[in-house]
Chain A
Amino acid sequence: MATTDLVLETSQPQLSRRQRLAEKRLPWIPIVVLLVLLVCTAFAHWLAPHDPTSLNIINSKLAPFESMEHPLGTDVLGRDMLSRLIYGARTTAQISVTALALGAIIGTVVGLVSGYWGGWSDAILMRITDAALGFPTILLALVVVVIMDPGPTAIILAVLLTVWARFARMIRGDVLTVKGYDFVTLARITGVKSPVILWRHIFPNVANTLMVITSLMVGQIILLEAALSFLGLGLSPGAPAWGIMVAEGQEVILDVWWLSLFPGVAITVVVLAFNFFGDWLRDYLDPKLRRAR
């Protein structure tokens, strides 16, 4: 039979168990990237060769590898790029983790309550969730900043306001499924109190979903945080945050190109690592979530 490269046949026979396990091999590169990020966050003060904010006009605009003292060069004010990048990792991690943790907690509680009790509370909570999902995130952040003044708290709040709704939606969907299982019905019939059912019976069954969404959300949160910093809505200018560093580099891009390049690469690599890791975790824990993004 003649073959053309148009592939219309799609279905594949069931993969054998061995094959499926092979496809779930640990994603080593993302894990290494994430470990580096973790180490930078924890030991920034110890790893960084210089103070990320100390000025040194004599050594300003050093190109990467020009001096071993400053392997990645210095910026317009002579601050060491490598140190700023390492401290930037810490800034990113602090803001993202705080927003993510709060968002996950609020979203999970809303999702559990909404899915378990249903009825009016569900209808109202889901309308609010939809509204939060549909609202453009940066616009929301702008409104937050109008109320609160720029700063880390404003950024965390802005990110939080958009993140929780995604958790609430997914968790609620899972709760609706788990609610129908026999052991929940049994617990209800035997008079177990609702909070106990939620915590002991339902929550452990949505924990996988929670982990998967968390890992898939991290990348988006880092991007949002970086964008808000870039726009000047976050930390004060000069602070070591990747988004701010890109913005500072933009003004002198024709002259000192590495200022914007390196922090941007850092953001991209970290987000890529989280995305790949999240994909892997999702496939590993629950192939059903394949289309969850």
Chain B
Amino acid sequence: MWQFIGIRVIQGIFTLLVISLLVFLATRLTGDPALVLLPAEASSKADYERVKKQLGLDKPLSTQYLIFLKGAVQGDFGLSIRDRRPTRDLLLERLPATLQLALAGMALAIVVGVPLGILSAVRRDSIFDKGGKLFAVLGMAAPQFWVAIMLILLFGAILKVLPTYGREGPENFILPSFVLAWSIMAGIMRLGRSSMLEVLDSDYVRFARIKGLKDGMVVWKHALRNALIPILTFSGISLAGLLNGAIVVEQVFAWPGLGRLMLDGVLQRNFPVVQAAVMASAFFYILTALIVDILYVYADPRIRH
């Protein structure tokens, strides 16, 4: 098992290195950051050389990459081109907001999605099942950003019960985390239902009933443990969706997180910021994927041995 985790860690580090190289090259190969920084009207050759030197762009590419890597480990990707602030400070400022949001969203998706999926499997054709189905179908079809805006309209403008932007208090979390959880919740529910149905149809669940176990024990012990395995896999896959969602949700709710930092960075061609944001999200993405893998080993003894 430790060997398995070790291999995963090494794979993760390797992936990070590849991403760092791509990020580094992508930002260097596409236009000259020094030109972006210079005001359009006053651009003498001397100014240009000065800025270039300042940014370290005069050194060879390989040296630049090594410097980049060394900084990356410490979260230091240079100064933001816009406001001259160290990227490290920006990261430290924005990361907690996104992590909190992602955690809240994932927790909401699991806490609501898993029981709803199981309820709709165990009580087929009940109100849970039908409502769940409708919700799942909509969750797959309605765009997240639009749902977010409609919720702002409903709860913020018409009912005036929830704040619609910023992150001052806990009530600020309600709408963004719900929207972030929206499609993952629908996915978990659908999958929870189908995997639960499959497990309930398995011989070992029937045998558990044949030997006289109580229904609750059959569902919550025998069936659930097995049904959770595909849900865990799905949660791992939907981490990518979570990151996608974070960018959209942060944009709509003016959430001061990593996603918006990244989006603004791209639209403003603020390369150090883009690099910092992409590397930070890649790091956390790989870290959580690793955690999911480890959980997986615990959930399924067939892998453990």
Chains A and B share a contact (CB less than 8 Å) = yes
B266's nearest neighbour on chain A, judged by CB, is A142
Question: Contact: B140 with A142, CB < 8 Å?
Answer: no
Q: Which residues of B contact A136 (CB under 8 A)?
A: 240-241, 243-244, 281, 285
Chain B, residues 128-157, CB within 8 Å of chain A (1/0): the string is 000000000110111111110110110001
Q: Which residues of B contact A275 (CB under 8 A)?
A: 137, 140-141
Tell yes or no: B110 within 8 A of A by CB: no
Q: Which residues of A contact B271 (CB under 8 A)?
A: 146
Question: Contact: A246 with B146, CB < 8 Å?
Answer: yes
B187's nearest neighbour on chain A, judged by CB, is A293
Q: Which residues of A contact B219 (CB under 8 A)?
A: 6, 8
Q: Which residues of A contact B51 (CB under 8 A)?
A: none
Complex alpha-carbon distance, A142 and B247, angstroms: 10
Q: Which residues of A contact B122 (CB under 8 A)?
A: 6-8
Complex alpha-carbon distance, A209 and B79, angstroms: 50
Q: A257-B153, A275-B137 are in contact. Are A142 and B145 (CB under 8 A)?
A: no
Question: Contact: A138 with B248, CB < 8 Å?
Answer: yes
User: With contacts A139-B262, A223-B143, A253-B153 known, what are 7 further pairs, Cβ within 8 A?
Assistant: A8-B215, A8-B219, A136-B281, A142-B278, A260-B146, A264-B150, A268-B143
- Contact residues, B210-241 vs A (CB, 8 A): 215, 218-219, 237, 240-241
What is the minimal beta-carbon distance from A62 to any residue of chain B, in angstroms?
A: 19
Q: A267-B143, A268-B138, A268-B142 are in contact. Are A260 and B150 (CB under 8 A)?
A: yes
Complex alpha-carbon distance, A139 and B261, angstroms: 12
Q: Which residues of A contact B281 (CB under 8 A)?
A: 136, 139
Q: Which residues of B contact A (CB under 8 A)?
A: 15, 22-23, 26-27, 29-30, 122-124, 126, 137-138, 140-147, 149-150, 152-153, 157, 194, 197, 200-201, 205, 209, 215, 218-219, 237, 240-241, 243-244, 247-248, 251-252, 262-263, 266-267, 269, 271, 274, 278, 281, 285, 289
Can you give 17 A-B contacts (C-beta < 8 A)?
A6-B219, A7-B122, A7-B124, A8-B200, A136-B281, A139-B281, A142-B278, A143-B26, A146-B26, A147-B26, A148-B30, A231-B263, A246-B145, A249-B149, A264-B149, A267-B142, A272-B138
What is the minimal beta-carbon distance from B223 to any residue of chain A, in angstroms?
A: 9
Tell yes or no: A153 within 8 A of B by CB: no
- Contact residues, A230-253 vs B (CB, 8 A): 230-233, 243, 246-247, 249-250, 253
Q: A264-B143, A267-B143 are in contact. Are A7 and B247 (CB under 8 A)?
A: no
- Contact residues, A198-215 vs B (CB, 8 A): none
Complex alpha-carbon distance, A231 and B241, angstroms: 16
What is the minimal beta-carbon distance from A268 to any residue of chain B, in angstroms?
A: 4
The number of residues on chain A lying at the interface, defined by a beta carbon within 8 Å of a beta carbon of chain B, is 46
Question: Contact: A146 with B274, CB < 8 Å?
Answer: yes
7 nearest A-B pairs in the assembled complex, by CB-CB distance: A264-B146, A136-B243, A10-B201, A271-B141, A136-B240, A272-B141, A138-B244
Tell yes or no: A53 within 8 A of B by CB: no
What is the minimal beta-carbon distance from A292 to any residue of chain B, in angstroms?
A: 12
Complex alpha-carbon distance, A250 and B153, angstroms: 9
B27's nearest neighbour on chain A, judged by CB, is A146
Question: Contact: A230 with B29, CB < 8 Å?
Answer: no
Question: Contact: A260 with B149, CB < 8 Å?
Answer: yes
Question: Contact: A10 with B241, CB < 8 Å?
Answer: no
Question: Contact: A139 with B247, CB < 8 Å?
Answer: yes
Tell yes or no: A184 within 8 A of B by CB: no
What is the minimal beta-carbon distance from B231 to any residue of chain A, in angstroms?
A: 14
Question: Contact: B243 with A138, CB < 8 Å?
Answer: yes
